[in-house]
């Protein structure tokens, strides 16, 4: 295991409308600046920062980004904005080729303005700017690629990019939480086929994370220790829902999974976010992440839609130290041609009715590929 491998160093540039673009490269060291062309397009000015309203009934913020209605929706490959630029066509990425590219979203749900600490409004209908930042992460220059088909080295570059962005966005004024995710499949609302993920730097800690933190706080207040650690220990002791296990990470279907396909990937050490991981942990993660996605891919003859969501500790939150970073991969697919829809009970009440027993899901995923071996890390690099 190469603990001395340096994280990928990005090269920065700006797009024609001022948005930032970063290139991350596979392997050590960047490529020379001079080889990266400038954005020659004429772009309209960036949209105004969306509006934020506070729902006092639920105690949650809602962002209104009306300009997103005009964003690109499932364009054909010849009009894809994430493909590299060519002599005849300029895209969002001016380079003729790239490994991983990260840039500010042209149609952000938060930002481009940053700064300002949010507080619940004094007056019921007071509006706030939805400050923050939204970024797009292109995983490959190949339009037809998909995350489960990336090389292990590329996944490592993507993880390095996520780590870099989490550290940098966490330092932006007013950012409350950095959320990294990939939506895969038009069935769950993907608007571009090109393999990519997104990053939201929210101006608040998200409702789901606050609920988890409150559970962890209460557990500790009752004198029962660290909730995240005990959950992992209980899953390992039970064993029936474990999908893959490495030296530093375990992937399992949670005891009370909500979705027909749901896998959590959890580090064995208590760390709040991706920047707090060690090189060894990131290295193993690149293999285990691929393993989990490839297992999901192997279940059906056609690609399975999924959401891969990184839960990271809120920035500057008093309970941050009680949180543990983890990945939740979920899919609504419950059979070859069937999707679970969030209907009355789930959508209105937030009360989930499961379609599949979690132990059965875990067994199917375990049987989909040979067992994961942490030692594959060494083999892959040889």
Which stretch in 20-28, 141-149, 176-184, 343-351 sits in contact with Zn ion by CB under 5 A? 141-149
Query: What's the token pair of residue 97?
Result: 């080729």
Per rule CB under 5 A, is residue 258 in the interface with Zn ion? Answer: no
138-142: long-range pairs with CB below 8 Å, 24+: 138/82, 138/93, 138/98, 138/100, 138/101, 138/102, 138/194, 138/195, 138/196, 139/100, 139/195, 139/196, 139/197, 140/99, 140/100, 140/195, 141/83, 141/84, 141/93, 141/97, 141/98, 141/99, 142/195
Catalytic hit among 164, 193, 196, 264: 196
Per rule CB under 5 A, is residue 101 in the interface with Zn ion? Answer: no
CB burial of residue 350 (10 Å; 0-12, 13-18, 19+): exposed
The reply, when asked if residue 83 is annotated as ligand binding, is yes
Per rule CB under 5 A, is residue 83 in the interface with Zn ion? Answer: yes
On whether the CB atoms of residues 178 and 170 are closer than 8 A, the answer is yes
Site size for Zn ion (CB under 5 A): 5
Per rule CB under 5 A, is residue 82 in the interface with Zn ion? Answer: yes
Which stretch in 44-52, 186-194, 251-259, 322-330 sits in contact with Zn ion by CB under 5 A? 186-194
- Torsion angle in degrees (nearest 10) through CA of 61, 67, 70, 74: -40
Complex with Zn ion: residue 154 or 194, whichever CB lies closer = 194
Per rule CB under 5 A, is residue 5 in the interface with Zn ion? Answer: no
Is 67 tagged catalytic? no
On whether the CB atoms of residues 133 and 49 are closer than 8 A, the answer is no
Please give the DSSP secondary-structure letter assigned to residue 346: I
Complex with Zn ion: residue 106 or 194, whichever CB lies closer = 194
On whether the CB atoms of residues 219 and 225 are closer than 8 A, the answer is yes
Report, in Å, the least distance between residue 112 CB and Zn ion. 24
Residue number of the CB closest to Zn ion reads: 80
On whether the CB atoms of residues 175 and 132 are closer than 8 A, the answer is yes
Other Cβ atoms less than 10 A from the Cβ of 31: the count is 13
Complex with Zn ion: residue 3 or 88, whichever CB lies closer = 88
Site string for Zn ion, 32-71 (x = CB under 5 A): ----------------------------------------
Report, in Å, the least distance between residue 163 CB and Zn ion. 25
Report, in Å, the least distance between residue 8 CB and Zn ion. 22
Report, in Å, the least distance between residue 72 CB and Zn ion. 11
Contacts of residue 249, Cβ cutoff 8 Å, sequence gap at least 6: 265, 266, 267, 268, 281, 284, 285, 288
Give one DSSP letter per residue of 88-107, joined into a string. S---SB-SSS-SEEEEE-SS
Complex with Zn ion: residue 142 or 280, whichever CB lies closer = 142
Per rule CB under 5 A, is residue 143 in the interface with Zn ion? Answer: yes
Per rule CB under 5 A, is residue 150 in the interface with Zn ion? Answer: no
Per rule CB under 5 A, is residue 80 in the interface with Zn ion? Answer: yes
Which stretch in 191-199, 209-217, 242-250, 328-336 sits in contact with Zn ion by CB under 5 A? 191-199
Supply the residues annotated as catalytic: 196
Which residues contribute to the annotated binding site for Zn(2+)? 80, 83, 143, 194
Q: Using CB under 5 A as the criterion, which residues of the chain lie in contact with Zn ion when the complex forms? A: 80, 82-83, 143, 194
């Amino acid at each position: 295991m190469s603990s001395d491998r340096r994280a990928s160093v990005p090269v920065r540039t700006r797009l024609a409308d001022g948005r930032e673009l970063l290139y991350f490269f596979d392997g050590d060291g960047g490529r020379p600046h001079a080889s990266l062309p400038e954005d020659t397009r004429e772009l309209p000015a960036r949209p105004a920062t969306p509006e934020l309203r506070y729902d006092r009934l639920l105690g949650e913020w809602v962002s209104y980004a009306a300009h997103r209605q005009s964003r690109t929706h499932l364009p054909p490959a010849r009009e894809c904005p994430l493909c590299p630029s060519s002599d005849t066509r300029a895209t969002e990425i001016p380079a003729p080729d790239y490994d991983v590219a990260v840039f500010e979203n042209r149609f952000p749900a938060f930002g481009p303005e940053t700064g300002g600490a949010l507080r619940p409004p004094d007056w019921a209908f007071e509006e706030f700017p939805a400050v923050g930042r939204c970024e797009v992460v292109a995983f490959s220059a190949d339009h037809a690629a998909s995350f489960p088909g990336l090389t292990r080295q590329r996944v490592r570059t993507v993880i390095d990019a996520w780590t870099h962005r989490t550290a940098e966005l966490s330092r932006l004024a007013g950012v409350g939480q950095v959320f990294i995710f990939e939506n895969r499949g038009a069935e769950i609302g993907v608007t571009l086929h090109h393999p990519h993920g997104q990053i939201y730097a929210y101006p608040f800690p998200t409702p789901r994370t606050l609920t988890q933190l409150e559970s962890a706080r209460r557990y500790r207040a009752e004198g029962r220790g660290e909730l995240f650690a005990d959950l992992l220990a209980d899953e390992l002791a039970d064993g029936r829902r474990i999908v893959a296990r490495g030296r530093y990470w375990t992937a399992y279907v949670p005891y009370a999974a909500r979705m027909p396909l749901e896998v959590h990937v959890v580090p064995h050490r208590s760390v709040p976010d991706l920047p707090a991981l060690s090189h060894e942990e990131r290295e193993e993660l690149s293999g285990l992440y691929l393993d989990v996605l490839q297992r999901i891919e192997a279940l059906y003859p056609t690609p399975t839609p999924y959401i891969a969501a990184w839960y990271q500790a809120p920035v500057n939150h008093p309970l941050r130290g009680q949180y543990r970073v983890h990945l939740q991969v979920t899919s609504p697919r419950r059979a070859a041609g069937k999707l679970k829809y969030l209907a009355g009970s789930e959508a209105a009440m937030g009360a989930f009715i499961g379609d599949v027993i979690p132990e059965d899901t875990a067994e199917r995923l375990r049987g989909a590929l040979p067992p994961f071996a942490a030692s594959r890390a060494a083999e892959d690099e040889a």
